[in-house]
Structure 1
Amino acid sequence: MALSGPEWVDRYPTSSDPNDCVGEFRDNLIQFIKALHAAKATVKISATLRPPQRAYLMHHAYKIAHNVEDPGNVPKMAVINIDWVHRDEAGEPDLPKSRSAASQMVTAYGIVAQPALVSRHTQGRAVDMDISWNGTLTIAPRNGAPRPIASMPRTGENKELHAIGASYGVIKAVFAGDPPHWSDDGH
């Protein structure tokens, strides 16, 4: 059994390949990205499919680090041999040390909001992508003529771009706190 800490972050990597998404969402995402590239936007994908093991590690690290969960009460995941409980020299549980290790994991993962155990990412139905452009972006909605987006911001946070994405079935997150998140239903 290995103690929790940032060395776990490199295990069970999240994909950044749109082809690892599933079914209709995969096809829609690929078409949306093609439209963005054709419009000369920059697209940087940081996450698509997240293995359930990574979701488990992220979920519990966040809860421990934010004093929501006791490291001694984390349910086991059969394939992950992690010990969330750090101990002092006498062998007693050391809660500050445990929370510190979890906090280091949260930082290393780059977590901005509490990760779910089951999410659109673990289902292959989400993408985290940063989108940017200079000047006016002229982009076509699915089955439509190209139209200009001159409004600010020139990022994935642009409301007009959200409407274009929705025409492809790629919906901008409907919740706050996760700027790069898009999925098949906004969750």
Structure 2
Amino acid sequence: MTIYQNLLGEDFQRLHPKLQKRYALRKDKPFCAAGKMTSVQTGPWWLLPFLRLAAQWKFLFPESGKDIPFTIKNTCRTLPSGLDEVYWERTFYFDNATRHFNAFMTIDSERKVVRDYLGEPKLFYSDLYFDVLPDGSLVIRSGAQRFVMGKIEIPIPKLFEGVVEVKEGYDHVREAFTINVHIHNRLIGRLMTYEGEFNEETN
């Protein structure tokens, strides 16, 4: 049983069957998919130095564009501590650069949240809350966040947080997973958005 099944409990069965299969990850078989993001938009121009730096940590990045090829790989594994972790590898193939947006997720059973560490090495932490909508799609929203500096984690004041909302579903007509991601800050506005679709790759 994956961290997502544990987190959602009975609600996991309310997910669209394709999403149930996607999130019921086996430790011996990663979920791999490829597709296209119809739109990728980053933050304002004056954030470019920060975004270029963040790109080196496989976090945020400065590029925007249309119809950007995209791949995703989710790998479930057991840590030395005994916790199950899901490693997220998201790759965007721009004309002049290949960018990554990677994460490491575990579950906090007591608080009923996913613990999400972003970047490599880990640069940023966020609580994530998972909800299933009536149509079987999945919504993920962010909670408390921290900067990560090695073993030190510094809480981020609410005003400076990156507010995240993700909606993932399945389109029967196009036979594809759909994704819509919005990350914004209450002061700055948009930090990054992307939306598009992808299909599972099977060996």
State the TM-score, normalizing by the size of structure 1.
Answer: 0.25
Q: Which has the higher contact order (CA 8 A, sep 6+)?
A: 1
Larger Rg: 1
Greater fraction strand: 2
Greater fraction helix: 1
State the TM-score, normalizing by the size of structure 2.
Answer: 0.24
